[in-house]
A = this chain, B = another copy of it.
Amino acid sequence: MNNNTRFTVAIHILTLLAYCGPEPLTSEFIAGSVNTNPVVIRRILANLRQAGLVSSQGGPGGGWQLLKAAEAITLRHVFLAMEETSIFPLHSSDPNPLCPVGRTIQQALMRRFQSAQAALEQDLDRTTIAQLVQNVSDEC
């Protein structure tokens, strides 16, 4: 279905910042944990900064820090920060407007999909980054 790992990596990054912080972490260090390229990390962090979750600092000793307490960041916040369009995309080419079903189905589906996405977000809202950090500590 969905085919991009940005949400997963974003949660990983925030958990790492909370676990290793509050000192700033460099994108290179984070990339070492996620096992990818620093630029990929910075691209995702740019979204998280836009959402007010993290801040960056250039120069030696610089890096990235959380702007909010780990207890105050839920997976829903991270999800919204990624600015994905919709979980379920509609038809790639518009359906036939001469067919009663084709003419009306998209409006109906948009309503249903929004409802489903709201339910999804509500569940995501129940988990905080702090809980994930706690889980890491428990497992070690």
Contacts and interface: CB of A to CB of B under 8 A. Distances in A.
B105 A116 contact: no
A6 to B, nearest CB: 9
A115 B122 CA distance: 11
A5 B5 CA distance: 19
A118 to B, nearest CB: 8
Nearest to A116: B123
Interface of A: 1-5, 7-9, 11-12, 15-16, 19, 32-36, 75, 82, 84-96, 99-105, 107-109, 112, 115-120, 122-124, 126-127, 132, 135-136, 139-140
- Give the oligomeric copy count: 2
Contact of A89 (B5, B102, B122): B5
A105 B35 contact: no
A32 B132 contact: no
